[in-house]
Structure 1
Amino acid sequence: MAVDIRLATARKRVPLPADVGKHLVSPGDTITTDTGFMRGHGTYMEDEKLIASVAGAVERVNKLICVKPLQTRYNGEVGDVVVGRITEVQQKRWKVETNSRLDSVLLLSSVNLPGGELLGQGTVVQVSPSLVKRRKTHFHNLPCGAAIILGNNGYIWIYPIMEQKDDEAGGFVTNLEPVPLSDREVISRLRNCIIALNVHKMLLYDTSVLYCYEASLHQQIKDILKPEIMEEIVMETRQRLIDQEG
């Protein structure tokens, strides 16, 4: 029987950009003493000070200051890309679990399957919604041979890239063929890399996921989730992102 033995090692320190960590606060931290700002979610006033009531990142919109919690349920906004799981099929609607406080409702009259349905092969990864970076697009075909949908609600769908075929069905084809081993390995590696980024509280977007994937290529897929290897891969990813930003 094989047993993994992990020895204590000194952690390596990676230089961070000057602005990283500047806007992170804990409950009770003073955000500002300027009385000209308005109090938003996650804050309260005390002794003419704006104080954080939750742990998270400070966000400012004009004169409004709020704190976005690092661990929270998803609150939907107009224009969000959401990945959901159907939990109940009713006569005229579906109930969808979207990692929010309440289940979402999808009317069957709003569903358009032909030509717009994704292939069923793939896997869902759940991460903190606050770590999904808001971008112009959340649908990405990665050069490693798989595609991801980064849901603003913290659900990420990973699936193989399939060839588009024109046929009489208008492009809608139910693919029930087994996924090749090579594609399953890519999907599994991406999944473990996303979990590693989530554990280390790094923003999730196409570039960070791809860099983490490339940093993990010299490791076995199952080893990515080992704490010391996970930390090494994430540190390499973080350093590469810092170098890219200049």
Structure 2
Amino acid sequence: MDLLSQQFVLPGQVLATSHSETEGGFLRGHGTYVELVPEGGEDEGDDDCGNDVMVGGMAGVSKKKRPTAWGSGGGSAQGEVMHTDGSDDKDKDGEDEVEGQTSKGPQRLIASVAGTVERVNKLISVIPLSSSVYTGQVGDLVVGRIVGVGGSRWKVSLACSPPSSSGSNGAMKEGQLPLSGVNLPGGVQRIRTSEDVLAMRTLFKEGDLLTCEIQQVQNDGTLILHTRSLRYGKLENGVLLTVPPSLVGRRKNHFVTLKGLKTSADAVDEDGEGDVDVYLGLNGGIWIQRTVPSEWEEAIRSDQDERAPLAETLQKLRHRHATTRVSRSMRERIARVRNAVECLRLVHCQISPDSIEAVARASLDAGVRVADMLLPENVVKLTEVTRQ
């Protein structure tokens, strides 16, 4: 088989054909499916030639004899199809089976998604350019929404969309947050009891947003989550934005603070506000909120015992953050950061702390109002700094 690496294909495009009547020359990978070649389907219109070459055509469409590559120019083999007779790789018996069934005639492998082709020996896969389904890994930070409570666990939708009446939350994967994976009020460390099960909705209820970490990926793909770190928990008094997961890359730290997004006319608010926190979820959920002022923590520590656990202090900070009104100037800064992320999404640019801050500062320097940031001409202008 001959296949150029990083070849781009479209859904329905033929990737490979097998001419053997008894064995196949490829294995089906992700993003592909197999179908039998219709009788005479490849020879239609080619009665004068026994060559049944199909060159990257679409399945179910009449094929004619074509050159071995579309277009011209060295290395451009868009549409090139591999042809196998099952004999180019003498691997172990059984590798020529597709989905556990032995082929009973010529077969062809067809792409089911748009992306690039990846081949390992006989295994042919298509890696989608922008996956609509998040496949989590252990240690990933995700932003999710509670969609169910019961059985000593919460069901968390990683689509981040609000629950709908139809019960559909998109194609995004769901995770499970066990009761043993959360911190109890006050940071108490003990075995969970039946009373804790009855009080689960006092911690999280349906519709709540939260940040959590993937603790385990089970064999069937189920994601087991936890919020035992003090950084994780319920999200309140902020803005949620959903972007394609492929735009959010893995980083050492997904909790970032953007400083100095005030204009020259702005002053630090009376309650000490000034900076903006951004939580970058690898599932595409991005949470934006104000940075909790250090004065709040100092005030809470002065009113409690010095031996009070840190978890109790953080819970009081979160409660004050959730119940304290966000000032108008801070809401404008949060909205500016939100629109900066949206600008990056519209131009399919990688979303990172540097790119978000660059777009937000470009809007400040250009004097663009928050309400005008998403105008087409401004989107192109503000994101130009990310393309230099």
TM-score (norm 1): 0.72
Aligned length: 214
Aligned to 1:136: 252
Greater mean deviation of Cα atoms: 115-124 or 156-165? 115-124
1:108 aligns with 2:179: yes
Code of the residue aligned with 1:41 in structure 2: it is: H
1:223 aligns with 2:372: yes
Q: For 2:353, which of 206, 215, 230 is the aligned residue? A: 206
Aligned to 1:194: 341
Shift of 1:119: 5.9
Aligned to 1:95: 155
Pairing 1:1-246 to 2, within 5 Å after superposition: 25-27=8-10, 40-42=29-31, 46-48=81-83, 53-56=112-115, 66-90=126-150, 92-99=152-159, 101-112=172-183, 114=187, 115-116=230-231, 117=233, 120-143=236-259, 144=261, 145-164=275-294, 165=297, 167=301, 168=308, 169-173=312-316, 174-175=319-320, 176-217=323-364, 218-239=367-388
Shift of 1:57: 5.9
Counterpart Cα distance in 2 of 1:220 and 1:23: 42
Code of the residue aligned with 2:360 in structure 1: it is: Y
Shift of 1:40: 4.9
| Alpha carbons of structure 1 residues 181 and 26: separation in structure 2 relative to 1, 3 Å | farther
Q: Which runs of 5+ in 2 are unaligned?
A: 16-26, 35-80, 85-108, 160-170, 188-229, 262-274, 302-307
Q: Is the 8 A contact 2:8 2:114 kept in 1?
A: yes
Counterpart Cα distance in 1 of 2:356 and 2:292: 20
Shift of 1:187: 0.9
Q: Is the 8 A contact 2:9 2:116 kept in 1?
A: no
Shift of 1:130: 0.9
Shift of 1:192: 0.9
Q: Is the 8 A contact 2:254 2:279 kept in 1?
A: yes
CA RMSD in angstroms comes to: 3.3
Percentage of identical aligned residues: 37
* Cα displacement string for residues 107-161 of structure 1 (whole angstroms, at most 9, x for unaligned residues): 1221116554466221110000111112222111112311111111010011111
Shift of 1:87: 2.1
Shift of 1:30: 9.7
Q: Is the 8 A contact 1:57 1:70 kept in 2?
A: no
Q: Is the 8 A contact 1:94 1:105 kept in 2?
A: yes
Counterpart Cα distance in 1 of 2:117 and 2:331: 39
| Alpha carbons of structure 1 residues 58 and 133: separation in structure 2 relative to 1, 3 Å | farther
| Alpha carbons of structure 1 residues 118 and 102: separation in structure 2 relative to 1, 3 Å | closer
| Alpha carbons of structure 1 residues 200 and 60: separation in structure 2 relative to 1, 3 Å | farther
| Alpha carbons of structure 1 residues 23 and 194: separation in structure 2 relative to 1, 3 Å | farther
User: Secondary structure of the residue that 1:84 maps to in structure 2?
Assistant: strand
Counterpart Cα distance in 2 of 1:194 and 1:154: 11
Q: Which runs of 5+ in 1 are unaligned?
A: 1-21, 32-37, 240-246
Counterpart Cα distance in 1 of 2:327 and 2:7: 43
Shift of 1:42: 3.3
Q: Is the 8 A contact 1:134 1:152 kept in 2?
A: yes
* Cα displacement string for residues 30-55 of structure 1 (whole angstroms, at most 9, x for unaligned residues): 99xxxxxx975336794249986533
User: Secondary structure of the residue that 2:136 maps to in structure 1?
Assistant: coil
Q: Is the 8 A contact 1:124 1:156 kept in 2?
A: yes
Shift of 1:102: 3.9
| Alpha carbons of structure 1 residues 214 and 78: separation in structure 2 relative to 1, 3 Å | same
Counterpart Cα distance in 1 of 2:151 and 2:340: 39
Code of the residue aligned with 1:54 in structure 2: it is: V
Code of the residue aligned with 2:158 in structure 1: it is: T
Greater mean deviation of Cα atoms: 46-55 or 157-166? 46-55
Greater mean deviation of Cα atoms: 106-115 or 150-159? 106-115
Aligned to 1:16: none
Q: Is the 8 A contact 2:158 2:174 kept in 1?
A: yes
Shift of 1:26: 4.1
User: Secondary structure of the residue that 2:141 maps to in structure 1?
Assistant: coil
Greater mean deviation of Cα atoms: 75-84 or 94-103? 94-103
Aligned to 2:213: none
